[in-house]
Amino acid sequence: MAQPQAPRGTRDPSPVARAALARPERRIALDLSDWRFILLALVATRLGLVAVGLVAMQVMPRGASYLDLVPRLPWLSMWLQWDAEHYAEIAVPGYSYGPNAYSNTAFFPLFPWILRLGASMLGRVDTETVALVGFIVANLALFVALLYLAALVRLDLGASVARRAVLYVLVFPTTVFLSAVYAEALFLATATGSLYHARRGEWYRAGICGALAALARPFGILLMVPLAIELLRQRPPRRAAFALVLVPAGTAAFFGYLWWQLGDPWLYVRANLTWGRGFAWPWETLLEFARQPLVVFGWYHSVVDLAFMVTMTTLAVLAWRRLPASYAAFASVGLLFTLSTKVWISTPRHALALFPLTILLAVYGERRWFHWAWLLLSTILAIGFAARWFSGNWLA
């Protein structure tokens, strides 16, 4: 029997990966060998974020948009800033749309649907219950995402890179959004799961995870690109191509739901125009940065957004040299999607969705100096960014 070939652009798979690929009957198992490390790192960093939040609420001035949606539980209320309010609103009364208003139809439905289901099971569908369920769901999803991420990276790049990738996600500058009442962690879990199953030739699992990702965040539909690359590379039976159909079905389900509930399938697009998002060529947006005064944090012309965009673009180019093609392709199309949305707001948060870029950082982390320099810089930024966000000031 011929030995499985390593994907182009990567190192040979680890011995664990080669053994799994050589035994098809055991390929459905998810490698959970790092679960203790992942759980310990997750709990430690999340407790650190709670401490940062409690201190920030005491010593930092509250932003004009600070929300206190759960006043009885300050430790919980601090996780419901900015967009978290819209997810809670969708979960409790549901979607609504108003012309020229900041409507919640700009947010994808999987996360708030899960929050409503969880609150219903607890017998109380109100903001406080939804907030508690949202915090729990986000952190459980983060744990699942890290399990998938570690298994995926171990498959292609080895155990040491896998552990660094997990650590880099947990101390990423905008890691606060992975535990907040946001859809970021849920998307990361479904997207990494989709690519993991695709790399292993488990096409229906890859398609289902991709469909869920497409229901969670707009980046989800872009998973069609890495799945298509894996289909071409592995050349499975034709019926496996059905996995590609499942991914856009998730996005279509959201548009269909808006049509059913509110009478217009394009309300997501209309709401985004009100939020300032639309299509523009990347160089047009870049020229706006050159013409207008820059601010450190802000919805428009933010130095932080620009710095993240430049860094992400550099990493996306380098990814084609160091990562499997499906990884690099997802990072590239995700970056192009972000670059073309007319305004580059929330770029530091969107970087979380482009997880192959974090994997690339973990590859470079093989150099000891890079590893410790990135950990130090990322941790400092994560603490500062979290403190800013917890106190109700704009971050991303």
Among 309, 338, 10, 341, residue whose Cα is nearest residue 161: 10
The dihedral formed by the CA atoms of 287, 358, 335 and 91, expressed in degrees to the nearest 10: -110
pLDDT digits (tens, 9 = 90+) for 208-242: 999 999 999 999 999 999 999 999 999 999 999 99
Is residue 118 within 8 A of residue 137, CB to CB? The reply is yes
Residue 172 has a pLDDT of 98
Greater pLDDT, 259 or 65: 259
Among 220, 248, 243, residue whose Cα is nearest residue 232: 243
pLDDT digits (tens, 9 = 90+) for 296-344: 988 788 999 999 999 999 999 999 999 999 999 999 999 999 999 988 9
Among 355, 351, 373, 352, residue whose Cα is nearest residue 364: 373
- 20 has a pLDDT exceeding 50: no
Residue 275: pLDDT band with limits 50, 70, 90: confident
